[in-house]
């Protein structure tokens, strides 16, 4: 194992002691800290990765729709292709939101972020974005809602970067 890997494992191990605050964890990890720390760190890296992929789908999909799909199909006489794209993106968005909620809740609990004001603002904006999405589903003709959802999503991402560990 390289020195860089060992340094990373030691940093993760120290991080776990701070957040767990449990001396039993230190005893458990003392038998082979490289294995225990690596598996725990890998799990949280995986959770963060899922969170980022879901966020990229949600925000990146909005950008793609706004920049390419809608302008290309808006003037078409047949609106069916645009509706089909929007409907499929909507289904994917629901899956992404479930993943974002599950992984975000797990990370906030793991890192002890529930008391952070930044998280409270982010969660309030998530509720705003959800309300805007529901409103847009009922009134797809209100195109200003698309912009409001996108701007709100960008603000959520900005706050997520501020919360990143």
Asked whether residue 141 is assigned to any structural domain, the reply reads yes
Asked whether residue 13 is assigned to any structural domain, the reply reads no
Q: What pTM, to 2 d.p., does this model score?
A: 0.69
pLDDT in tens, 137-159: 899 888 899 889 999 999 999 99
DSSP letters, 97-117, are HHHHHHHHHHHHHHTT-TT-H
Q: Residues near 24 by Cβ (< 8 Å), separated by ≥ 6?
A: none
Q: Which phi-psi region, left, alpha or beta, contains residue 76 (left: φ > 0; alpha: ψ -120 to 50)?
A: beta
Asked whether residue 85 is assigned to any structural domain, the reply reads yes
The total number of structural domains in the chain stands at: 1
The single-letter DSSP state of residue 142 is -
Which domain range does residue 96 map to?
Answer: 48-163
Is the predicted pLDDT of residue 34 greater than 60, yes or no?
no
Is the predicted pLDDT of residue 25 greater than 50, yes or no?
no
Q: Which of 51, 23, 25 is nearest to 164 (CA)?
A: 51
Asked whether residue 16 is assigned to any structural domain, the reply reads no
Lowest model confidence (mean pLDDT) among 19-23, 61-65, 115-119: 19-23
H/E stretch holding 155: helix 144-163
């Amino acid at each position: 194992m390289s020195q860089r890997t060992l340094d990373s494992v030691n940093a993760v191990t120290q991080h776990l002691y701070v957040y767990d605050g449990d001396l039993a964890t230190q005893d458990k990890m003392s038998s082979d800290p490289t294995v225990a720390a690596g598996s725990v760190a890998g799990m949280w890296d995986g959770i963060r990765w899922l969170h980022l992929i879901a966020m990229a789908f949600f925000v990146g999909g909005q950008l793609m729709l706004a920049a390419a799909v809608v302008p290309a199909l808006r003037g078409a006489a047949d609106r069916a292709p645009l509706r089909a794209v929007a409907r499929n993106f909507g289904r994917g968005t629901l899956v992404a939101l479930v993943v974002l909620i599950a992984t975000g809740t797990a990370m906030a609990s793991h890192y002890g972020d529930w008391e952070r004001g930044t998280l409270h603002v982010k969660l309030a904006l998530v509720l705003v974005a959800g309300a805007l999405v529901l409103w847009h589903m009922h009134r797809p003709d209100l195109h200003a809602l698309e912009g409001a959802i996108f701007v709100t999503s960008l603000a959520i991402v900005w706050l997520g970067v501020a919360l990143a560990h």
